[in-house]
Amino acid sequence: MLEIDDLALQLPYYANWWRRQWAEVLCNVSLEVHPGEVHAVIGASGAGKSLLAHALMGLLPAPYRQTGRLTFQGQPLTAARQRRLRGRELALIPQSLSALDPLVRSQRQVSWAAKRAGHAAARVQHTARQALAHYQLDERAQQAFPHQLSGGMARRVLTAMAHVSSAQLIIADEPSVGLDPQQRDRVLNALAALAREGKAVLLISHDLRHALPIARRVTIMRQGRCVETAPAAAFEGDGHTLTTRYAQALWRALPDNHFSHPETQPAPHVA
Ligand SMILES: Nc1ncnc2c1ncn2[C@@H]1O[C@H](COP(=O)(O)OP(=O)(O)OP(=O)(O)O)[C@@H](O)[C@H]1O
Ligand code: NI
């Protein structure tokens, strides 16, 4: 459904006020997301995950330099096509809560999303209410403005907006940050359900542990590059089938994995 082939991205910075230079923020990024799967992109803060999401949606602020090929449903994903498909075939659950319009109540924001996705005008409000209720946002939250919502509630409004779109590809940028475990599971399960319906889900997260239960494949990013793409099943045991030390280290560092690191091992107890 989505193929990213050797994507590179440069953004400007000013070494001096008069001289613009370009910093390479993504390089050599290649991965594929297939229908029916959740593909996780995992990386530390600053790895370039959100930039990748914005490049895929065509939401990068100009100026920028981009090379490589993006293909969606067998055709090149050009800027014009991104504009046309955004909010319809392509949906983003953005990391930043400021994506919500501060002057618009939750229910109306989701209604707009439903309208853009092509729902019949007479149905959009009903669709919005249902989607918000699905994410446990009650009538009061539905009538609230963004500043009256908690971070977790605002994130669920954004998720509901993606939910009502008829998108074939859903890019979820840290959709579960700031949610309590129950809400987090609900959002992750909703993404897994979308994949089961045959949609392609790109799940961006810094948390391998929470992505693994629903992901079929995992791409690890570091400093703007893809380090490794592996099946989720490779993250088991000591992770010996992972091909890079970085992916292994990331896996072994998870608190539940109880790997001892020689340098951090407690000194043997002397009786
Ligand atoms: N508009 C911009 N101009 C210049 N550099 C940027 C811009 N946006 C991001 N960067 C840089 O690109 C790198 C990747 O940023 P990005 O937001 O994609 O990281 P991320 O992986 O999403 O991190 P996080 O987990 O914190 O959200 C960072 O080093 C950041 O400083
Ligand atoms: Ni990010």
Tell how far CA 129 is from the center of its chain: 24
Q: What is the DSSP string of 249-260?
A: HHHHTSGGG-PP
Q: Write the single-letter amino acid at 135.
A: Y
3-state secondary structure of 42: strand
Fold topology of 1-89+167-254: Rossmann fold (3.40.50)
Convert the pLDDT of each residue in 84-106 to its tens digit: 999 899 999 999 889 999 999 99
Tell how far the Cα of 51 is from the centroid of ligand 1, in angstroms: 6
Secondary structure element (H or E) that encloses residue 139, with its range: helix 139-142
Name residues contacting ligand 1 (CB within 6 A): 11, 25, 43, 45-51, 95, 206
ipTM above 0.90 for this complex: yes
Nearest CA to ligand 1 atom 28: 46
* Structural domain spans, the chain: 1-89+167-254, 98-166
Give 10-residue mean pLDDT values along the chain (271 residues). 97 87 95 97 95 96 94 96 94 92 96 93 95 94 95 90 92 90 88 94 95 96 96 93 94 78 50 47
- Helical pair 151-164 and 106-116, crossing angle rounded to 10 deg: 20
Residue among 194, 1, 21 at smallest CA distance from 93: 194
Tell how far the Cα of 45 is from the centroid of ligand 1, in angstroms: 8
The beta-carbon contacts of 184-191 under 8 Å, at least 24 apart in sequence, are: 184/210, 186/135, 186/136, 187/135, 187/155, 187/156, 187/159, 188/213, 188/214, 189/214, 190/134, 190/135, 190/159, 190/163, 191/38
Any residues with CB less than 8 A from the CB of 253 and at least 6 apart, and which?
259
Nearest CA to ligand 1 atom 8: 51
Backbone dihedral angles phi then psi of residue 175, each to the nearest 5 degrees:
-70, -15
| Alpha-carbon distance values, 214 to 16, 191, 208 (Å) | 46, 8, 11
Tell how far the Cα of 169 is from the centroid of ligand 2, in angstroms: 18
Q: Enter the tokens of residue 212.
A: 């693994």
The model's pTM is 0.90
Q: Write the single-letter amino acid at 124.
A: V
| Residue 265: predicted pLDDT | 47
Ion ligand 2: residue ranges with CB closer than 5 A: 49-50, 95
C-alpha span between 6 and 217 (Å, rounded): 18
Pocket test for ligand 1, best of 7, 22, 51 (most atoms within 8 A of CB): 51
Strand partners, 22: 12
| Residue 259: predicted pLDDT | 64
Which ligand lies nearest the alpha carbon of 93?
A: 2
Tell how far the Cα of 31 is from the centroid of ligand 1, in angstroms: 19
Backbone dihedral angles phi then psi of residue 119, each to the nearest 5 degrees:
-65, 145
| Residue 182: predicted pLDDT | 87
Nearest CA to ligand 1 atom 30: 46
C-alpha span between 167 and 82 (Å, rounded): 12
Tell how far the Cα of 94 is from the centroid of ligand 2, in angstroms: 9
